[in-house]
Chain A
């Protein structure tokens, strides 16, 4: 297991749990939760931070020597706005990785597939490593892959809903077809949801709300780390197939016909 790295755009990660930074009660709790999660990728909403002020509390709380700071374009309603934010992040000294979010609907924050693809094509050409947040649409995933995105990040259920994996059928197709890492993003509300995604063969998961608003965010971050790891190990161990009829755990055939 020690060699089981996740590789995205040539960079290796031990942890397959990405965490978000919104909704925490304080930067201190956020930092402790990130530490407990052992995550190596942390997303930050560009609209929340002041990139012109390096002392910004939220950014200062993240150890960028160990963790990849992944700026996201949350709040962008169009490709144009997302591109503007991405360029701003890079010009302010952020790495050229960008989590692309185009969510014109402020209620359910569902991603706009057309604008996302448009922005992805342009940002990839500009040299960004693009990780797009999308609905669980297998065809869109192929388009994004062909556009040169480093991953695809389909949702499990609407962001912040904690409802778990409601897009299972499509996620299975995406995982089966993808040539880039598949990171299940949004809607994972419990460590068991993270385990479920990893058991299905997802390459990683991203969790924010379920950790940030838990009664004990630090303990929940730790639990998600374990859930993610357990799911990954189960996937690598190859799960026993499901069966619709009862099957004895010790084969009986030899006994009955000998």
Chain B
């Protein structure tokens, strides 16, 4: 399991490289076909700034070669915002006095119909972490109910056991997304003071359990800005590399959520600038050439339109981050975070077309799940 591997990674050495990467390190990384983590760190270091046009162009070329001029479209469906955790940065924190909802099966159907009507065939079920409302039988039933409408169903919910993930797979779930939030263990403890989420290693091993249960795609990431973003990005890179090597049948994706304003008013420790996020995306393309890289509506339309050709292969659009948000404008449910790109899916697809890219709505088939 990755928690055993993680113990062997010298975080001090990673930090040393982060603080000491030079222009020569960046040039060396740019000249290599297979990068190691030290090369990755060089590419996201301040020393990389002067090489950014070259890094970006290499990332763009690799992305086009491996994925073509296509962007896979997906939508999140928030089924519940009940949560037992006390994450200091999250709108769903159980201590926040906000409206909470767990969708009934009828409400799920209405939300799903609205999402499908926009053209989406790739769906991500998202929830807060409270198994009293949103447990494995509920998620399995939702997946089974939605399977006829969607080609691919993913989950981004509380970490589950291998057996529970197997149950979800049997009911039509093919993808798992789980963010470690931060790989800095002390900080992790500090920002997750209560609830099951405070168990660092249990969360860290979640991708292993999902892959062992037969999930076809595993998505990982950190909440950029929570800790030292370069250290966190390097740890995501190592984790992705581990998953690719150990679960060779599993497709790995990486997302880049930046901390956004939410209930609770938490401010990031280490804000990530647009330029730094751009460098991180390019560096992941060069380090994990075949990984799916995801950019959500957390980012502005302007930023997404500028950066997507340089590594991104999957985007959400028209997202609602509260349960019931697609069909119930009066929903009392609090949003998890405020989206920045509020264009409709059709508007996003048209913008992609203007840039010479095709929005792909279906790139999977339920027969494969």
Contact = CB atoms under 8 A, between A and B. Distances in A.
Contacts of B365: 46-47, 75, 85
Q: State the majority secondary structure of interface residues on A.
A: loop
Interface string A26-52: 110000000000000000001111100
Interface in A1-49: 22-27, 46-49
Among A47, A49, A162: residue with most chain B CB under 10 A:
A47
Interface size class of chain B, counting residues whose CB lies under 8 Å from the partner chain = 20 to 34
Nearest to B292: A106
B172 to A, nearest CB: 14
A46 B367 CA distance: 10
Contacts of A212: 68-69
Chain A interface residue number, banded: 20 to 34
B358 A48 contact: no
B363 A107 contact: no
A228 B150 CA distance: 40
Contacts of A162: 65
Given A50-B362, A75-B364, A106 B251 contact: yes
Contacts of B64: 213
A199 B77 CA distance: 54
Contact of A160 (B65, B151, B364, B368): B65
A128 B293 CA distance: 37
B68 A22 contact: yes
B70 interface: yes
Contacts of A81: 367-368
B64 to A, nearest CB: 5
B69 A76 contact: no
Nearest to B289: A107
A23 B68 contact: yes
15 contacts: A22-B70, A23-B67, A24-B70, A46-B365, A48-B363, A75-B365, A84-B367, A85-B367, A107-B244, A108-B290, A160-B66, A161-B65, A162-B65, A212-B68, A212-B69
Interface of A: 22-27, 46-50, 75-77, 81, 84-85, 88, 104-108, 160-162, 209, 212-213
Q: What 10 A-B pairs are tightest by C-beta distance, nearest first? A: A23-B68, A25-B69, A106-B251, A107-B290, A47-B365, A104-B249, A25-B356, A213-B64, A84-B367, A75-B368
